Structure 1
C-alpha cells in the first residue's frame, strides 16, 4: 500500500487528487495539508511513503518543504505537482531532493504512473519537462539569469512578473511588506533591471510565463 499525504493550498486540487488516487487499490491518502508548515508536521507525524506537494503555497513553499524533508532525513519521497513546468523550477526541485515532477495539467494515468514509479524508488519527470531539460543541456539555454535567485526571490519575481501588487504578494507568501520589498530590491539587482515590466519581459523570454502572463 502506497501511503500519501497531499500538500496544496487549493482545496479543489486536493479533492481532485484524492478522487483519482483513492480509486486505486494500492494507494491510500493518509493526510492533507493546506500549506507547507502543516504539511511538514504531517510528514513527521505520519511518515508516509510519498507526498504530492505544490510549489507556491503561503508561508513555507514547496521548495522549502522538499529541502527540509531531506535535511530531516525523512524517508518520504516528494513528487512536485505544479503549473510551473519550465526551468529553473524542475532543476531547483530535483537538486533539493524531489523524486518526481509533473504539472497539474497532466492526465490522471500520468499522475498514477508518477506515484507508482516514485514509490518504487525511481524518479519521474513528465516527458515535456525531461525533454526541455535535455535540450537546455544540448543548446546551452539552461544558463537562465533566474538561476541566480534564491528560492524566495524566485517566487517573488514570478508574482511580480504576473502583475501582483506588493501587499498581495506579502499576504500570499505570509511575509511582511518590508521583507517583500527587500526581496524585490535584491532580485532586481541580481537581474540588472529596475522595473516589473522588464522583469515580466525577461520571464517570458526564459519560459517562466506564457503568452498570457501566467505561470
Structure 2
C-alpha cells in the first residue's frame, strides 16, 4: 500500500481570524498540513526560506509588501515555488498579474471550501487552476483600449500603480517594495505613458474605472491599504 503524501503549507494572510479558518479547514484533511503562518510578505519570505513548504497560499492585500511582491520574490529565490493566491479580488486583472508574477493558481474567497482544497492539491502537482468566477471573467472580458493598456503593465508596475493611487509617496513606495526612489519614478513615468494619462488625477480616475481600487478605499482611512 502506497503511503499518502502530506502537503506542507505556508499560509499568508494579515487577518488572524481568516488564518484560523484556513487552519481549521485544512486540519481536517489527512494529506494537508499547515506548517507555518505569516501576516505579511516580509515574514512569509523568511518563513519560506526556513520551512521550505510545498505550497504557499497567500492573499494579495497585506500591510507593506503585497502578495504580488511576495510571489515575485519567492519565484526569484526558488523558481520551483508553488504558489496559490486566495483573494477577495474578483477583478481578472489581479488574477492575470498574479499568474504573470508566478502563481500557479488563483481562487477567490467567495469560492467553496472544496475548491480551495482542490486548488492546493493542483498547485502542489504543478498544475494551473482558476476559480470559476475568475475563469469566466477572463473568458467573457470585453477588452477595451484601457483594459488592454492595463494588461500591458508588468507585475511590478501594476503594484506601483496600486500604491500610487492609494496616495503613497514615491519614498514610501520605494521603502515598501525595497527598491530605489529612482526606480519608482521611472515606473511612475512608464505607467502613465502606457495608460495614456498625463497626470496623477487622471491615473487615479482610470484606476477606479478599471477596478484596480474603489472610490470607497480612497475615501475611508480605515480601509486604506486593506481593500
Stretches of structure 1 lacking an aligned partner (at least 5 in a row) = none
Between 146-155 and 90-99, report the one with greater CA deviation.
146-155
Q: 2:16 aligns with which of 7, 11, 18?
A: 11
Q: Write the mapping of 1:146-161 to structure 2, written as runs, cut at 5 A.
A: 146-159=150-163, 161=165
TM-score computed with the length of structure 2 as normaliser: 0.73
Unaligned runs of 5+ in 2: 1-5, 219-226
CA–CA distance in 1 between the matches of 2:183 and 2:149?
20
**Structure 2: distance between partners of 1:93 and 1:114:** 15
Determine if contact 2:68/2:159 at 8 Å carries over to the other structure: no
- C-alpha root-mean-square deviation of aligned residues, in Å? 3.4
Q: Is residue 98 of structure 1 aligned with residue 103 of structure 2? A: yes
Question: Residue 208 of structure 1 corresponds to which residue in structure 2?
Answer: 212
Instruction: Find the residue that maps to 2:86 and give its secondary structure.
Output: strand
Deviating 4+ runs (over 6 angstroms): 178-181
Contact 2:9 2:36 (C-alpha < 8 Å) held by counterparts:
yes
Aligned equivalent of 1:191, options 186, 192, 195: 195
Q: Compared with structure 1, are the counterparts of its residues 174 and 159 closer, same or farther at alpha carbon in structure 2 (3 Å cutoff)?
A: closer
The alpha-carbon deviation at position 74 of structure 1 amounts to: 5.3
* Shift of residue 134, structure 1, vs aligned partner: 2.2
Query: Which residue does 2:93 correspond to in 1?
Result: 88
Contact 1:87 1:207 in 2 (8 A): no
- Aligned residue pairs total 212
Taking the aligned partners of 1:174 and 1:68, their CA distance within structure 2 comes to 10
Contact 1:36 1:62 in 2 (8 A): yes
What's 2:221 paired with?
Answer: none
The answer on whether the counterparts of 1:47 and 1:75 sit within 8 Å (CA) in structure 2 is no
